[in-house]
Structure 1
Amino acid sequence: MGLSWQQGPLSAGPLGRFLTAEPLPERLLLAERLRRRMRVKFNGTWIADSEDVILLYEPGRYPVAYFPRTDVDPQVLVSSDKVTHHKDLGDTSWYAVHAGDRTTERAAWEFTSLPEHAADLQGRVAFAWRAMDAFYEEDERILGHAADPYHRIDIRGTSRTFEVRLGDTVVARSEHPVVLYESGFAPRWYVPRADIDETQLRAVEGQTFCPYKGLCDYYDIGDARRAAWSYRNAYQEVERIGDMVSFEPNQVEVYLDGKRLKLEPGQQVVAPHGVDRGLDADEARSR
C-alpha cells in the first residue's frame, strides 16, 4: 500500500528493485512534508493543527504523521517515565494526552535521541491513531491512517471475458468486468452483479475496512470461505466498483480470456498493521 508496505518500494518484500551499483541498506526510512493541513481532535478539542506535518515511512508500516511541537497545544502532553528504543531513530519518549476530564496513557510519542541524519523529526510529536477522537485534513476526517500521497487506485474497463467457476458450476461470467490497480497489490477484477449467479454467494458476518475504498463485505461460495467480496457502498473516489464483486483466485477458479489466474507472490496475506494500531471496521462505522 503506497511506499512502505505490502509490495511497495520501501516494504520488506518489494515488487521492484532499485537499479543501483551498490546494495541499499536493508531498511530505508523516508521523511517527507505532507503539504496538507492536518488536525487532531481529542475529547472534543482540537489539540494539534499544522500545515508543517512530516510523514514518516518505515518498512511494513503505514505512514505516520509527526507534528511540530509548536503546532500542538502544550497543555495536552503529559510526560511519563515510559521510554522505548527505536532501532533506527533512537530513544522514544511517551506521553499521556490530557484534555478536559479525559487522560489517555501512551497516546503520543517523540524521538529524543535522533541520529544526525534523521534531524527532520527533531521536536516533533506523533499521536496514537486509536487514542484520538479523529484526524482531519482541513475539515474532512481521515480514517485508518495518515493518507499516503503515493497510494494510487486506477480503475479500467475491459471487454475481456472473465469467468469464475467452482467445480462444474459457473458462478460468474462477464464480458465487461473492470480491473482495479492499487499501489502495492496485484490487479483485482470486479464483476457486475447482473453477471453473477448470486444464489452461489452466501453472505458471511464480519467486515473489513480499507481507508481508500470503504467497508468490505464477504461471501462464501460452497465450501470456499470468503471467496468473494464487495464494497457495496464504495467511497466516491472508487464508486465505479460500488456493489460489484471480486473473487479470490486461490479459493475459486478464476479465468481471464480462458487463462486461469493465480494469486501473485506476496499477495496471500494482507497484514493490516501500523506503527501503533490495526485497521478495523468499527472506525469506519463511527465516521
Structure 2
Amino acid sequence: MGLSWQQGPLSLGRVGRFLVPDPLPERLLYAEPLRRRMRVRFNGAWIADSEDVVLLHEPGRYPVAYFPQDSIVAGTLEPDTFTSQHRDLGPTSWFTVRAGEHRKQRAAWQFAQLPAHARELQGRVAFAWPAMDAFFEEDERIVGHAADAYHRIDIRQTSRHLQVRSGDHLVADSKRPLVLFESGFAPRWYVPRADIEEAQIKPVEGQTFCPYKGIASYYDIGDARRAAWCYPNAWTEVARISGLISFEPDKVRVHLDGVQLKQEPGQTVVEHGIDRSLTVEEIAGRAASPVTEGSDITETPWA
C-alpha cells in the first residue's frame, strides 16, 4: 500500500477516514517533492537527471515522477500528434522519446493546461515507466514504479503459536514465526522451514515480484492452489524473511494462538504495476544493468 492505492488514505478503498466535518472530494490528488535524485535511462543513455522531481499520488495508481523540463537532455522529446484528457488535470500532450536513432512513441507526457491549483506540475514531464530502460535513485535501479515514501514494512520476531492445517494434515507448527507489517495490509506470518512439513507443500511454476520485497515463489497445498509463498532471496531491506514461508488464510486454515485467521477485505494485491512483465533476471539485477532493448514490456499510458 502507498498513499493513494490499495487502502491508503487517499485511495478510493481507504479503511480509515479524515476527521473533518464535511465530506472530502472522492478523488484527492497529492503532489510533493521527491527529495531524491532520480535518473532515467533510455537506449543505453541517460536522458533525465534531477534532484527536483515531483511525485504525483493519484487514487488507484502508483506514484508517478515528474521531471523539470530543463533536467531532460535536449533533443530527447519530440512532440507527438497524440493527445488525451486527464479527468482531473486536463489536456495532456504526449511525446516521442529519442536517444540516438532509437525512438519510442507515446513514451512521455506533459499536462498542457493545468488548473491553477496544480501549479506544482507546471512545465514538468513524466516518462512511461515500461517504455524506458530503467529508472534510478542515485546509482540503484528502482523496479516496478517510483518508490512511495508512505509504504512501510516492519518485521518483528514473535513467540506466538502459529499452526497451519489443510484437511487433516498439520502443515506448519511454529512458536517462532516472523510477523511482517506492511502499510495497509493485515499482518503476514512467515514460518521457518524447520517448522513446516515439507511433504505437504508443492513448489509450482510462476513467480511474481513486489517492488518492496523482491521475487516471490509459490506452493500448492493439497488442492489449494498457490496457498503459500516465499521470497527465497528477499531484498536487503527485508532480508529477514528470506526463505521463510507465509500462508494464505483464505486457502488453508491458519490459527494464531488458537484463533483462526481470516482474509481481511481489500487485502488482495491488485496487479496493475506497470513493470509487471519484466523478466525475473531483470528484476533480480535491479541494481546492475538497465533493462535490455527488446524486453517483453508493454506500455500503459498513465495520463
Aligned to 2:276: 279
Give the structure 2 partner of residue 253 of structure 1: 253
Per-residue deviation at 1:76?
Answer: 0.7
* Equivalent position amino acid for 1:271 in 2: V
Q: Which amino acid aligns with 2:183?
A: S
Residue 95 of structure 1 is matched in structure 2 by 95
AA of the residue aligned to 1:166: S
CA distance in 2, matches of 1:90, 1:57: 16
Q: Secondary structure at the match of 1:284?
A: helix
Cα 1:281–1:178 shift into 2, 3 Å: farther
SS of 2:238's partner is helix
Instruction: Please state if 1:79 is matched with 2:79.
Output: yes
Q: 1:91 to 1:44 in 2, by over 3 A?
A: same
Residues 120-149 of structure 1, C-alpha deviations (whole Å, 9 max, x = no match): 100000001111011001111111111111
**Structure 1 runs of 4+ with >6 Å offset:** none
Q: 8 Å contact 1:179–1:189 — kept in the other structure? A: yes
Aligned to 1:218: 218
Q: Distance in 2 between matches of 1:122 and 1:143?
A: 26
Query: Which residue in the other structure is 1:66 paired with?
Result: 66
Counterpart of 2:270, as a letter, is A
* Matching residue's letter, 2:189: W
> 1:262 maps to what in 2?
262
> Please, what is the CA RMSD of the aligned residues?
1.0
Question: Shift of the alpha carbon at 1:272?
Answer: 2.1
CA contact (8 A) 1:5 1:184 kept: no
Letter in 2 for 1:133: D
Asked if the contact 1:153/1:182 (under 8 Å) is kept, the reply is yes
Partners of 2:169 and 2:35 lie apart in 1 by 52
SS in 2 for 1:206: strand
Task: Name the SS for the 2:131 alignment partner.
Answer: coil
- CA deviations on 1:56-108 (whole Å, 9 max, x unpaired) are 00011100000000101121101111100000000111111011121111100
Q: Distance in 2 between matches of 1:51 and 1:155?
A: 31
For each residue in 1:26-82, what CA deviation from the matched residue of structure 2 results, as whole angstroms up to 9, or x when unmatched? 000000000000000001111000000000000111000000001011211011111
1:4-43 → structure 2 map (5 Å cutoff): 4-43=4-43
Q: 1:281 to 1:162 in 2, by over 3 A?
A: farther
- Distance across 2 between alignment mates of 1:226 and 1:102: 41
For 1:48, the equivalent position in structure 2 comes to: 48
TM-score normalized by the length of structure 2: 0.92
SS in 1 for 2:62: coil
Deviation, 1:285, is 4.1
Map 1:111-122 to 2 at 5 A. 111-122=111-122
| Number of residue pairs the alignment of both structures matches | 284
Q: Does 1:198 align with 2:198?
A: yes
Give ranges in structure 2 of 5+ residues lacking alignment: 287-303
Shift of 1:279: 2.4
Decide whether the 8 Å contact of 2:129 with 2:275 is kept in 1.
no
Residue 186 of structure 1: CA displacement?
1.1
Contact 1:215 1:281 in 2 (8 A): no
Give 1:167 deviation, angstroms.
1.1
- The corresponding residue for 1:234 is 234
- In the superposition, relative to structure 1, how do residues 144 and 278 fare at CA in structure 2: closer, same or farther (>3 Å)? closer
C-alpha distance in structure 1 between counterparts of 2:208 and 2:101, whole Å: 33
| 1:225-267 Cα distance to aligned partner (Å, 9 max, x none) | 0000000000011011000000000000000000000000111
Give 5+ residue unaligned stretches, structure 1.
Answer: none
Paired residue for 2:176?
176
